[in-house]
Amino acid sequence: MQQLAIRGIYQNGMVLLPQPIRYKSKTEVVLVFPLRPDTTLHFDRVVNEATELRFKHSIEAKLLADGDILFLGYPELGITGYGQDLRETTQNFQEVFIATFEHYTRQPDTVLTDKAQQLKAKLTDLVTQYVNLLETEL
Amino acid sequence: MKTVGRQQIIKVLSQKGFVIIEKKRHLFLVFTDGAGRQSDIRTFLSRGSGYNEYSLPLLKVMKNELRLERLQQLEELLNCPLSEQDYRALLVTQGDLT
């Protein structure tokens, strides 16, 4: 089982130690949780400050750690986010997802390779609703 | 390969068939085929100050995103011996690009 430092955040799939080990990192105190190799996080939508994408079904992203970096990946669409803590990692994953969606779905098929067209089709199929949060606020 | 500077990655990949799409927090680099069509092979670079240097864990992810089997191939791509044409031929051989 992999040991992973998460800054005070507990998520499903992590095993909370009865007495979390506290130690001083270079910058702050962190809590240490073991991370199961099969830890996943579920998303039925992804959001950033400007956009929300709602999915047809929940997707399962795999969480893993390498060195001091956390990765959250959805291999079906080749999307990976990373960060130095879980909050940054999940935020980055959602940003990358939205950027991928916006980029490929805005391209005409004629400028995309066959596999890029397949990626565009998968993204379009998964996302049922595109919400512009900036317009919604007005 | 220990770390590679973000600016070096951008400079080299932009010279090797990648188009750069600028986002608020990321740079999105998409590989193009010989006809200039955008492929599904792409990588994201964070603009954050904590990612001026890309460490080994991040380079491993980039290797996978760029469909390379070995870190040495990524090193060759970023340090120039692997040309755009060589990289494109490799992707075609692997079936990742038509």
**Residue A3 pLDDT > 50, yes or no?**
no
Copy the structure tokens of residue B75. Answer: 């090193």
The mean per-residue pLDDT over the stretch A5-33 comes to 49
* Whole-number pLDDT of residue A33: 58
Instruction: Report the greatest alpha carbon distance in chain B.
Output: 37
The mean per-residue pLDDT over the stretch B58-83 comes to 91
Q: Which percentage of chain A shows pLDDT scores above 90?
A: 51
**Cα gap B74→B90, rounded to integer Å:** 12
How far A128 CA sits from the closest chain B CA (Å)?
21
From chain B, which residues contact A within 8 Å (Cβ)? 21, 23, 25-26, 28, 30, 33, 36-40, 42, 44, 46, 50, 55-58, 60-61, 64-65, 96-98
Q: Are A54 and A44 in contact (CB under 8 A)?
A: yes
Residues of chain A contacting residue B30, judged by C-beta atoms under 8 Å apart: 103
Domain map (residue ranges) of chain A: 40-137
- Residue A113 contacts B where some CB pair is shorter than 8 Å: yes
Please give the interface size between A and B, counted as residue pairs whose CB atoms are below 8 Å apart.
68
The mean per-residue pLDDT over the stretch A58-69 comes to 87
For A29-39, what is each residue's pLDDT tens digit? 344 555 666 77
B38 and A92 in contact by Cβ < 8 A? no
The mean per-residue pLDDT over the stretch B60-65 comes to 95
Interface confidence, given as ipTM, is 0.87
Residues of chain A contacting residue B44, judged by C-beta atoms under 8 Å apart: 80, 96, 99
Q: Residue A86: pLDDT band by 50, 70, 90 thresholds?
A: confident
Place of tokens 């669409």: A77
**Residue A104 pLDDT > 90, yes or no?**
yes
Domain map (residue ranges) of chain B: 4-94
The mean per-residue pLDDT over the stretch A105-115 comes to 96
**Cα gap A49→B95, rounded to integer Å:** 37
* Whole-number pLDDT of residue B58: 94
For B3-60, what is each residue's pLDDT tens digit? 899 999 999 999 999 999 988 888 999 999 989 999 999 999 988 888 899 999 999 9
Instruction: Give the pTM.
Output: 0.82
Q: Residue A26: pLDDT band by 50, 70, 90 thresholds?
A: very low
* Whole-number pLDDT of residue A44: 92
CA torsion sign for B72, B75, B81, B85 is positive
Q: DSSP of B19-73, one letter per residue?
A: EEEE-SSEEEEEEE-TTS-EEEEEEEEE-SGGGSEE-HHHHHHHHHHTT-SSHHH
How far A70 CA sits from the closest chain B CA (Å)?
9
**Cα gap B75→A115, rounded to integer Å:** 25
Contacts of A30 (CB under 8 A, 6+ apart): A5, A6, A7, A8, A22, A23
**Residue A15 pLDDT > 80, yes or no?**
no
CA torsion sign for B93, B62, A129, A131 is negative
* Whole-number pLDDT of residue B80: 76
In whole numbers, what is the pLDDT of chain A averaged over residues? 80
